[in-house]
Amino acid sequence: MAHISVERTHSLGLEAAREKARPLVEKLAGQYGLTPDWSGDTVKLKRSGVNGTLAIGEKTIKVDVQLGLLMSAMSGMIQAEIERSLDKALA
């Protein structure tokens, strides 16, 4: 199993960070077949072999993903995509 953790700081404020995070969640969900489940400023992302959360804060957005055995082989690619997408969303 592999664990991916990516955190980025921002100065957008909570409301603007939420607006920026929604398209990011939709993109990751569509790209990796994840089911998003929003609860306040946290979204859980799930599918077989993948469990993750995206937490939106006043100054940070943090993505944590736990990959099962089969998905672990793609952890480098998945982490790079999360980092790229998060940086683009916050730019």
Express each pLDDT in 11-68 by its tens digit.
Answer: 999 999 999 999 989 988 998 899 999 999 999 999 999 999 999 999 999 999 999 9
Please give the model's pTM, rounded to 2 decimal places. Answer: 0.89
DSSP string, 37-82: EEETTEEEEEETTEEEEEEE-SSEEEEEEEE-HHHHTTHHHHHHHH
Instruction: Give the model's pLDDT for residue 13.
Output: 92
Residue 62 tokens read as 């943090």
pLDDT of residue 72: 92
How far is C-alpha 80 from the geometric centre of its chain's CA atoms?
A: 11
Q: Which CATH superfamily is domain 2-90 in?
A: Alpha-D-phosphohexomutase, C-terminal domain (3.30.310.50)
What residue segments make up the domains of the chain, in order of their start?
A: 2-90
For residue 6, the one-letter residue type is V
pLDDT of residue 24: 87
pLDDT at 10 over 90: yes
Using a 10 angstrom Cβ sphere, with 0-12 exposed, 13-18 middle and 19 or more buried, the burial of residue 53 is middle
Model pLDDT, residue 91: 84
Write down the pLDDT at residue 84. 93
- Tokens representing residue 43 in the block: 């979204």
Coil vs helix vs strand at 10: coil
